[in-house]
Every structure is written in C-alpha cells, then in structure tokens.
A and B are shown apart, each in its own frame.
Chain A
Amino acid sequence: MFSGLPLFPEQASSFAADVDALYFFIIAVSAFFASLIAILVLIFAVKYRRRHDQEVGAPIEGSLPLELAWSLIPTVIAMVMFAWGAQVYYDLRRPPAEAHQIYAVGKQWMWKFQHLEGPREINELHVPTGRPVKITVTSEDVIHSLYFPSFRTKIDAIPGRYTTLWFEPTKPGRYHIFCAEYCGTMHSGMIGTVVVMEPAQYQAWLSGGAGEGTLAEQGARLFQDLSCNTCHLETAQGRGPSLKDIMGKPVQLTTGESVMVDEVYLRESILNSQAKIVAGYTPLMPTFQGLISEEGLVALIEYIRTLSPQAATAPAAAPAPPVEAPAPAPQGDRN
C-alpha cells in the first residue's frame, strides 16, 4: 500500500547495518512486550467485564514471584540492549588511526568542509568509498550538529571545541547532510549533500579542486602572514617554543603540569595564548581570539602537524594515497 513510502534511510556506511540490526532487535523486543500487554488488557476487558451491579473483583493482593519475574526479566533484556548499544557506540565514537581526515566548521547557516588536500566545500562534501573518513568538527557561532542519516551518525559542532565523528562510506551516491541541533532562523536550511564516490573518481575530483594548495600549505602561508615564524623558530632559540616534533607528545608547562599536544591544546594556545605557557618561556604571545577564522585555525594546526613527521604516519592502505598523508587520530581524544 505504501510502496512509495520509505521507512528507512539508505544504508551507505559500514555502521548503517549495525545500527539497523540493533534497531530491529529493540523493535522485536518492544513489539513482544507491547503485544503481550495489549492482548492481556483486551482479553481481560472482555472476560472480566462487569456482569451485574453488585459484582466486585477477586481479592488479590499481589504476588512476589510475579513482581520479581517482571522486574528481573526486563532488567536482563535491558542489559543486553545496553551492552549491544554501548558496543556500537564505542565503534562509532572511535575513529581508526588511519582514517582520512577532513575538517568541518558549522556556521549560521552553512557547513564548510576543508580537505587536507586543499579543496574547500560549502554544504557539499565529497568522500571516497572503502576507507574510513574522520571529520573534526567545530562551530563559529552557536551549537550545530553534523548529521548524516545514511551513515547513521552525527556529532554536535560546539563553538570553542573540537568534536569528531567518523564513518566508512560503502555505497556511492548522494545523501543528505542535516544540521540536527537547532541554531536559529535558517536551521532547516543548513542542509547539504554528501557525495560518496568510487576512490578513482574521488581522486579525480580532488585533483580538480586544489587551487590554493594543500591545507598544510595554506597553513604555512598563514603562519608567515601572522608572523608566527618570527618567534616560533625551527630551533629552540626563538622567543616561543619550537613547534617541531611536538604533536602527540606531552609538554611541560610553567605550572609544572604537563599536557598532551593535540588539536585542542594548539587551538587553545593560539586563541588564548596565556592559558598554558610552556616551561622556560615568557607569556609574550598576543591572543588571536577574533583575529583568525576557524578555517585558519585548522590550516595552522595541519601545518604544525607536518612539522612532526613521525606523528603523521603512513597513509591509509587503500587506495591510491592522496597528496598529503592523512593525519593519525590524536591520542587521548578529549571528546
């Protein structure tokens, strides 16, 4: 009857089948309990309807075995759901180390995507099949949420923070991108299309759009434009610490604490340079809050990452590696 009425979005990522299987399991459990109760109350409605005015119900107080049964059995079933759901979630939230990195910035009311290889996109995202893609997400203004229904995943884009999501597209095609967190007037217009391509086509697409150089090259230019390079020298002789070989390693602060150098720390140190000073240096650096865009920040971070070559391990196995080696997932993901 409803042949034209779809009930599920396309399954276009490696998670989609896992999430749907779990969904069907819970539907089956729910249908069982719903039918059980529905059938019982309807049978009772007929069987025990009042036959005469003076009739009263049977004097039944309760039953401890029954109470235990209908507390414990649902508890056990709920724990199965919990464990299964937690396992799917764990996979959803942990990008593999070799995932292909893309940055996304939400802003009222558009999604901006930045590929390491250089291309930038607005409300459209091209990704290849057959390889995990990790998106690091932030927002320029209010909270948004980057949602790919056909991949069964989403993550909030939170101003001032990086969050991540990942997926492995399995089926070429064009699918929805939505903003799932209400963000103002044109919230429902903050939508786009994710274009899943065969790896070869994706490579062709990438090479067609890299006019401004790779993201790290853009970051290198910005590093000079903002005069970062006057203090952050390659050697430790500069007024600021050297940025060579720092990514993914702990660094000692003036307070005696040490922090892991990752995107979050770099971002904070650029925007709020007084927050965490590396031991042995004086707080000379101006704050860049308001002077640098979210895209500029990710370009700088990518540039700084290239200064730590051993942290940027070999590119993902399949297929033809892009120009730039994809960065590994930072350890100690703060999300």
Chain B
Amino acid sequence: MLDTLKLPERHYLNNGHGLKSWLLTKDHKRIAILYLISISAFFFLGGLFAVGIRLELTTPQGDFFQPDTYNKMFTLHGVIMVFFFLIPSIPAVLGNFLIPPMIGAKDLAFPRINLLSWYIYVLGGLFALFAILVGGVDTGWTFYTPYSSAASNTNVIPTALGVFIAGFSSILTGLNFIVTIHRMRAPGMTWFKLPLFVWAHYATSLIQVLGTPVVAITIIMVFVERAFGFGIFDPQRGGDPVLFQHLFWFYSHPAVYIMILPAMGVISELISTFSRKKVFGYSFVAFSSLAIAVFGFIVWAHHMFVAGISVYAAMVFSFLSFSVAIPSAVKTFNWTATLYKGSLTFEAPMLYVYGFLGLFLVGGLTGLFLATLGVDVHVHDTYFVVAHFHYIMVGGAIMGYLGGLHFWWPKIVGRMYSEFLSRISAILVFVGFNLTFFPQFVLGYMGMPRRYHMYPDEFQVLNVMSSAGAAVLGLGYLLPVIYFLWSLKHGEVAGPNPWGASGLEWRTASPPPTENFAEVPTDIPEAYEYTPHVVREAKLV
C-alpha cells in the first residue's frame, strides 16, 4: 500500500522557493522550520561546551582548560541550552507547527508577530554569539549578583542583553498561542476536545507572558548596576544581593515549566497514539498543566534555602514546592493508566515516551529531596541538583522534544526516517543519559559542589562514569541529524497519517498545504477517539 503513496503536489515546502520565500514567510509551519534550524544550531553549540566540561572533569586536576575557560564553558552551556534551546524548543518548533492544524486553523492569530518573534530570537542569539566571540562570560547562567554586576570582568552585558531580547520572542510566541487557542479554533472544536498538547501549550504560554517580563526587568537592573553604577544588588553601593535571587527565580523557576509542560503535552499525544486509546483522565491531565503553571509561580524561594532567608519563609516555600509535585504525579499515573488495555506498539516515538517516563520519574522524585528542607541544606548547590535538573530538563524536556520530532517528522517533511536507526538512537539517548547523570546524584550527596573545575580525588570514578555516559549520549543526539537529513530526499513517503493517529493534524496531507486544510474541518471528534473504524479510515486516506 505504501508504494502507492505520493507526496502532495502542492504543499507548504514547495509553495515558494528561494531564501526570500523563507525569510519573509508568514506561514507558521515555515517559521517552525526556521526555529528548528536555529535552535538545533544552538543545541549543538551548547553541546560542544558540555563536551568541554565532561572532558575537563575526567581528572581531578584542572588539566585541559584554564579555570576561567572552564567557568565560561559551563556558563555558556547553561545560557545557550536554557535560553536559546530549551525555552523555545517545543513551543517554537512543534507548537508553532502543530497548534493551528490541531485546532483546525489556517495559521496562528498573528502570523507577522510570529515571524517577528523569530527575528527577535535570532537577534538575541546574535548578542549571545557576539559575547562568545569577544571572550565569553563566566557568571554561570544564573547571573548571581554581586558577582555578575560588580565582580566579573567578562562580557556580562552582551550576554544578558541577548537573554533580555530573546525573552521578548518568548513573550510574543506565548501571546500568539493564547490568542490563537481562544479565537482560532474550528467550529465544534470545544475546549475539552482540544488535544492535551494544546492545553499544555496554553499553560506554558501563560507562564511565558506573565513570567518573562520579570526576568527582563531583573536583567535591566543588573545592566544599570554594571554599566552605570546604580546600587541595586551590590551591598558596597547599598544594594541587596539576595534581592536578585528572588527576582531571578521568580521567572526562572516557572521557566522550568516552560520547558517541561510542552514535553508533557507531547507525551500525552504520543502515548495515546501508540496505545490507540484515550488518554486516561483527560480533564485531570489538562488541569494539572494549569495547576503546574500556577503553582510554579509560588515556589521560587526553594532555590534560596541556604541564602539566609527566614526559617519560616523556607518552610512556606518547602510546603508549596511539594504542592507542585502532586500535579506532576497525577500526570504520570494517568499516562501509566493510559497504557492499561491499550494496543501498544514501539516505534521510535513510543520508545522516547518510555524513556521520558523513566527519566521524568527520577527527575520528579529527586525533586522531593530538594523540596525537603533538611536534605536540601546538604545537597544544595551540589551535583545532586545538577543531576536533578538535567533529569527534568534533558531527560524530560529533550526526550519529549525528540519524541515529538520523531512523531511529527513525517507530517513536517512528508517522509519517513530509518525505523532501525531511530530506535537505536532512542536507546542510546536513554542509556547514555542515565550513565551521565545518575552518578551525579551520588557525587552530590558525597558533597561535590557544582561548577567545580578541580575536585578531590575521591570523586574521580563517578566523574569518569559520567563523562563516558556523555559520549554515548552525544552519539544518541548526533544520529537523528543523520537520518533526518537523509529522510528529506530518500525517506519513504509517509502519507497523511502513517501512525494511524486521531488528531486533526493527521487528516491533512503530509506535508500540509500552506493553508493547512483544503477545507476547514467541521466534524470534530472527541480527543483521542480510537475505534476500529477510525483506524481503518486513517490507514486508507
């Protein structure tokens, strides 16, 4: 049957040729591709710094890099991965591409603003690249004052401005999604028929719109202190260094949910498709996204339990931090229950789902250790924290991103990639990831602080394990580049719905036409409707 499939004659990729048709496009799908290319470039640049870090940490002495070089590497790794890869990743690529077709719309509500947000992102990225080219920055991605505002003699200002500018891209994307989800749904696409991917993006967008301005203001404060000597954070000039941490984490903790919520949305889509079953407890999964977005705003001071805040404030924030764990637990149980009595297959996207479940579980559970005050004091600012947030951001968010990319790739380019290589890559990423980051939990409890260029000898064995794992992980990340590029020309034609999935986006051609649907869909089914009839239909389109 597959032999008979052909690419549609007219689709968004061949509707206009040449660089100009891309750089001036207002098509959300093409903008998604622009984002895909740019964030991938930043991902591999950030990864390159990680290679340097893991190389240096294979030995206790500082023998590969100078201390300042090492400090710049982990700073740039963090800045690039957080602000230029993870935060835009799923929303700007998959969200951009998929939200309109998922809700039966032709485009986002503001196509021009969508393109503008990509240009803003690129401008922010150029500032960051400029900072790297002129010598880098060494404050850590957290820019703690007064180190960043008064002590560091590296390129704090261009980097901070890069983050500041990229933030506006995030705000505009969030705004665009919120308006789109409210106003652009096809007739009959009610809120509770929306795919959970859309719910997750709605919650994410709220954080982007409400949280990002705070970090923007904070960056401006660092800027005026550093450039003009205002005394805001530097105690030498009457400022309060801890104020910075409150402001920074007020955004940057919710920012973690900007990364993980969309990944949770992806997982809901994938798990339902590959078990041909409704997501268990749809409304609980949907509302847990909103709960996470709301609670995420009131837990920031758990980053400050040893920063001299009052004992009672610490207790309040510990309590609230536990409360944000519950909706995450609810999601995990619901996904597990979705598998029950499903019809399961294990193509690459489903392997990523399983990988996500394993890593997110470890990441989430180790969050409990950090929310627990008595344990956090010991492991705060150690490798335990590094391991924990990599399990969430890399194990959770990147597994979701890669799973989603594998799932929707045939929709995006119209062709399939190598099934065999993609399964190998999913397994390599999972194994490599665990080997890299699990030993870091032990290192952290042993007491190894983060951001150490040199370390006592007894930490070496675990660090070598971690570096070996990073090599496997790197391979797992490189492999998809090869088979995705290969698939562009040589992949089998996928057809509109290669997975037999139920979402609206699978009802149109792959790749879709510029206007997404030949005609606006009207018979909107319940979300995740899998009946033998639907499956037969899907396969035969």
User: Does B531 lie at the interface of the complex (its beta carbon under 8 Å from any beta carbon of A)?
Assistant: yes
Docked-complex contact B365 and A30, CB < 8 angstroms = yes
Docked-complex contact A82 and B372, CB < 8 angstroms = yes
The secondary structure that dominates the A interface is mixed
Docked-complex contact B339 and A44, CB < 8 angstroms = yes
Which of the candidate stretches A144-152, A211-219, A295-303, A310-318 sits at the interface with the other chain? A144-152
Least CB separation from A59: chain B residue = B278
CB neighbours (8 Å) of B68 from chain A are 185
Please measure, in the bound complex, the distance between the C-alpha atom of A89 and the C-alpha atom of B376, giving whole angstroms: 9
User: Does B342 lie at the interface of the complex (its beta carbon under 8 Å from any beta carbon of A)?
Assistant: yes
Docked-complex contact B458 and A41, CB < 8 angstroms = no
Choose among A49, A67, A179, A335 the residue that contacts B345 (Cβ–Cβ < 8 A). Answer: A49
Least CB separation from B244: chain A residue = A143
Query: What number of B residues sit within 8 Å (CB to CB) of A?
Result: 101
Please measure, in the bound complex, the distance between the C-alpha atom of A147 and the C-alpha atom of B445, giving whole angstroms: 12
Choose among B342, B365, B369, B442 the residue that contacts A57 (Cβ–Cβ < 8 A). Answer: B342
Which of the candidate stretches A17-25, A127-135, A243-251, A255-263 sits at the interface with the other chain? A17-25
Docked-complex contact A30 and B368, CB < 8 angstroms = yes
User: Does A7 lie at the interface of the complex (its beta carbon under 8 Å from any beta carbon of B)?
Assistant: yes
The secondary structure that dominates the B interface is helix
Docked-complex contact B277 and A82, CB < 8 angstroms = no
Docked-complex contact B71 and A184, CB < 8 angstroms = yes
CB neighbours (8 Å) of B8 from chain A are none
Choose among B342, B374, B534 the residue that contacts A86 (Cβ–Cβ < 8 A). Answer: B374
Docked-complex contact B308 and A45, CB < 8 angstroms = no
Please measure, in the bound complex, the distance between the C-alpha atom of A160 and the C-alpha atom of B447, giving whole angstroms: 27
Choose among B281, B305, B368, B446 the residue that contacts A149 (Cβ–Cβ < 8 A). Answer: B446
User: Does A38 lie at the interface of the complex (its beta carbon under 8 Å from any beta carbon of B)?
Assistant: yes
Please measure, in the bound complex, the distance between the C-alpha atom of A148 and the C-alpha atom of B151, giving whole angstroms: 26
CB neighbours (8 Å) of A178 from chain B are 447, 449
Please measure, in the bound complex, the distance between the C-alpha atom of A187 and the C-alpha atom of B74, giving whole angstroms: 13
A49-B344, A79-B322, A142-B146 in contact; A56/B378 too (CB < 8 A)? no
User: Does A291 lie at the interface of the complex (its beta carbon under 8 Å from any beta carbon of B)?
Assistant: no
Docked-complex contact B454 and A48, CB < 8 angstroms = no
CB neighbours (8 Å) of B376 from chain A are 85, 89
Interface residues of A, Cβ cutoff 8 Å to B: 2, 4-9, 18-19, 22-23, 26, 29-30, 33-34, 37-38, 40-41, 44-45, 48-51, 53-63, 66-67, 70-71, 74-75, 78-79, 81-82, 84-90, 92-94, 108, 141-143, 145, 147, 149-150, 152-156, 158-161, 163, 176, 178-189, 191, 272, 289, 335
Interface residues of B, Cβ cutoff 8 Å to A: 62, 67-68, 71, 138-140, 144-147, 150-152, 235-236, 238, 240-242, 275-278, 280-284, 305-311, 314-315, 318-319, 322-323, 325-326, 329-330, 332-334, 336-337, 339-346, 354, 357-358, 361-362, 365-366, 368-369, 371-378, 380-382, 442, 445-447, 449-456, 458, 461-462, 530-532, 534-536, 539
